[in-house]
Amino acid sequence: MEYFGDAIAILSRWDVVAALLIGSIGGVIIGAIPGVGPAVAIAILLPATFALDPIVGLTVLLGIYGSSMYGGSIPAILINTPGTAVNALTTYEGFPMTLRGEGKRALSLAYSASFFGGVFSVVALIFLAPVLASIAPMFGSREIFLAALLGIILVVVAHRGQMLAAAMLAGFGIFLNTIGLEPVKYSKRFTFDQSWLASGVDLIVVVLGLFALSQAFMLLVEDDERVRVTETRGSLFQGFRELARHPRVAAISSSFGVVMGMVPGVGEFTAQFMSYTSAQKLSKNKQAFGHGSSEGLIASEASNNAVPAAAMIPLLALGIPGEALTAMMLSVFYVHNVVPGPRLFQGQMDFVIALYLALLILNVLVIVFLLFSTNWLVKLTKIPNRFLGVAILTLSFVGVYSLRNSATDCLIAAVFGLFGFILKRLNLPIVPIILGMVLGGIMEVKLRTSMNRVREPWDFIDRPIAFIIFSIIVIILVTHFWRLWREWKPVDREVLGRKTSRKFGRRLNARSTRLANGRRKQTRRRRVRDHLASR
């Protein structure tokens, strides 16, 4: 109870209350504007949070992260355009309901499912993070290295169909982290005698370039579209009653969000896909999916809103981020010398409880705000793309310059912005670069520390947790490559059959040509003999 009282005292401070309001309301507004998204907003605000207390900065960032998905459902349902990328599946069920004149019912159901998923994940965070933190003291350098390596592998494997590109981009992120002074002997690496590279490539500069500036460039080159919002009818309070009729769908979908949020590199898209698929298989009305199914809408919104708090579980317990946004939040911890892990739960439990309560309060503030301001938020969908692009571009350069008052950082951010713009145009992933930079630094330090105690290769996995993580890595790789081989095996046989048939056909044609030429020669000879004999 002592820690609980201290946590209440932290949350009662005016700056924390302001952070709760700004994070919750600001995130909803950002989510309701198509083309912005939480990654852009967090990247822009990240430099400003370094000057704030950790609880204040994290509350703002987490508020934007979680509440943007609430707001992203508004344009997804009303104009068939997801406000954030993770609201894509919401369009499948929400917009058909709007076309039937049930837009407010769809919005209410989306808000209710999002609230359930958000609270469900916070409860999971409260119970699971301390358990994982109690196991964390058993993690030495080898275990943390293998856990970070597992995160990289999961990031690559999660990008199915783009695995090679994701692996290359993750490797590029690891390479970026090696530029500058190495962490043990402080020797220069890949600086090419350039003084501006001695301090390395800053993670925040890369984040602002890849996420914020690239999105600004995307908005600037796109044409402005005329948005027409369909009129809706119904009550925004009826969704809670309808949600109560589908408790199994809400619970299963939220569970998928929690599990996928804890696994590095997976996140909302996989959680949405798995929850939506399972809801369709378990539904008694499968034909309604894709045509305005309330179960499909619940599955989509409950799963993606359960991910943000769940992604904090490995971050708080082990200090290992699960995806790009939690990797950005990790920098807030480091700036204030707050080290996530077991010591955080032992020495700063009041901070941890305050963070739990802040997440719960954020969900309550968001749902109250949405129930009374949806009609006003709908107008945000009409903001021109190019105006948004100019605003994001300006704020991004201000944020980059404010880090170290360096014009060089602005130039580096612009280069990464163009690189991110090219990746987006080619439909290639950006997240592996960020996770490669974050997890690559952890891997390098822990590997060099652990090698002092390793004499033989098997010594690296001679402890139980190290062996378990190594076994998981092997199982994931073997399973993934086996699946790929099984998928490509029929294609290979078909290709081989075509090659064999072409080769056989060429031989057959050559033989037929030789036979035909021989017959023609025999015919000519016979005609010559007959002609001579007649003379």
26-30, 128-132, 387-391, 416-420 — most confident range? 416-420
Range of lowest pLDDT (21-30, 454-463, 483-492): 483-492
**pLDDT score recorded for residue 72:** 78
388 domain residue, yes or no:
no
In the chain, what percentage of residues exceed pLDDT 90? Answer: 0
Residues pairing with 180 in the sheet: 189
Same domain, 243 and 281: yes
3-state secondary structure of 471: helix
Q: Do 197 and 336 belong together in one domain? A: yes
Query: Which range has highest mean pLDDT (71-85, 172-186, 223-237, 261-275)?
Result: 172-186
* Residue 31 structure tokens: 């989510």
pLDDT digits (tens, 9 = 90+) for 491-508: 444 444 554 455 544 554
Domain of 484 in residue numbering reads as: 465-535
- 144 occurs within a structural domain: no
Nearest to 44 by CA among 176, 210, 193: 210
Higher pLDDT, 122 or 511: 122
To the nearest 10 degrees (0 to 180), the angle between helices 103-135 and 294-318 is 30
Whether residues 257 and 111 share a domain: the answer is yes
- What is the per-residue burial (b if ≥16 Cβ within 10 Å, else e) of 423-443? bbeeebbbbbbbbbbbbbbbb
Q: Same domain, yes or no, for 426 and 446?
A: yes
Quick one: pLDDT band at residue 133, thresholds 50, 70, 90?
A: low
Domain assignment of residue 391, yes or no: no
Nearest to 74 by CA among 111, 118, 35: 111
Residues 82 and 210 in one domain: yes
pLDDT band for 531, please (50, 70, 90 cuts): very low
User: Is 50 exceeded by the pLDDT of residue 532?
Assistant: no
Instruction: Name the residue with tokens 């705000």.
Output: 369
Residue-level pLDDT at 528: 47
Say what the pLDDT of residue 112 is: 87
CA dihedral 402, 404, 406, 408 (to 10 degrees): -110
pLDDT band of residue 522 (cuts 50, 70, 90) is low
The reported pLDDT for the residue numbered 211 is: 75
| Overall domain count for the chain | 2
Q: Note whether residue 141 is domain-resident.
A: no
Q: Does residue 263 have a pLDDT over 60?
A: yes
Same-domain check for residues 443 and 472: no
Task: Report the 10 Å Cβ neighbour count for 422.
Answer: 12
pLDDT computed for residue 431 by the predictor: 74
> Among 59, 109, 41, which residue's Cα sits nearest to residue 361?
59
Q: Which of 136-140, 266-270, 463-467, 485-489 has the highest mean pLDDT?
A: 463-467
Residue 250 has pLDDT above 80, yes or no: yes
Q: Note the pLDDT tens digit of each residue in 313-349.
A: 777 777 777 666 777 777 777 776 777 776 777 777 7
More confident residue, 481 or 33: 481
Q: Work out the average pLDDT over 31-41.
A: 71
Mean pLDDT over 179-200 rounds to 76
Last residue of a domain, one of 407, 423, 453: 453
**In this structure, is residue 82 part of a structural domain?**
yes
**Nearest Cα to Cα of residue 376 among 16, 32, 3:** 32
**Residues 446 and 475 occupy one common structural domain:** no
> Residue 280 has what pLDDT?
77
Are residue 448 and residue 478 in the same domain, yes or no? no
Q: Does residue 337 or residue 22 have the better pLDDT? A: 22
Largest CA distance in the chain: 130
Eight-class DSSP state of 405? S
Confirm if 112 and 242 have CB atoms less than 8 A apart: yes
For the question of whether the overall pTM of this predicted structure is more than 0.95, the answer is no
The residue that leads in pLDDT, 59 or 346, is 59
- Tokens 């946590």 belong to which residue? 7
Q: Looking at the structure, do residues 338 and 436 belong to the same domain, yes or no?
A: yes
Is residue 142 in a domain? Answer: no
pLDDT digits (tens, 9 = 90+) for 139-179: 677 877 887 788 788 778 767 777 888 889 888 988 888 88
Percent of the chain with pLDDT over 70: 78
Query: How does pLDDT run across 272-316, given as a tens digit for each residue?
Result: 767 777 787 777 877 777 777 888 888 888 888 888 778 777 777
Mean pLDDT of 73-77: 77
Residues 250 and 378 in one domain: yes
The answer to whether residue 69 sits within a structural domain is yes
pLDDT value at residue 508: 47
Q: What CA–CA distances, in Å, run from 490 to 116, 216, 440, 487, 493? A: 44, 44, 37, 7, 5
CA distance 247 to 91: 22
Q: Is 504 within the bounds of a domain?
A: yes
Instruction: From 428, 453, 478, give the residue that closes a domain.
Output: 453
In this prediction, residue 51 has a pLDDT band, given cuts at 50, 70 and 90, of confident
- Mean pLDDT in residue range 419-443: 82
Report CA-CA distances (Å) from 535 to 237, 522, 526: 113, 20, 14
Q: 366 and 498: one domain?
A: no
Judge if 201 and 333 occupy the same domain: yes
Q: Which of 404, 423, 453 is the last residue of a domain?
A: 453
Q: Which residue has the higher pLDDT, 462 or 504?
A: 462
pLDDT of residue 208: 77
Average pLDDT over residues 256-261: 79
Which residue would you say has higher pLDDT here, 450 or 504? 450
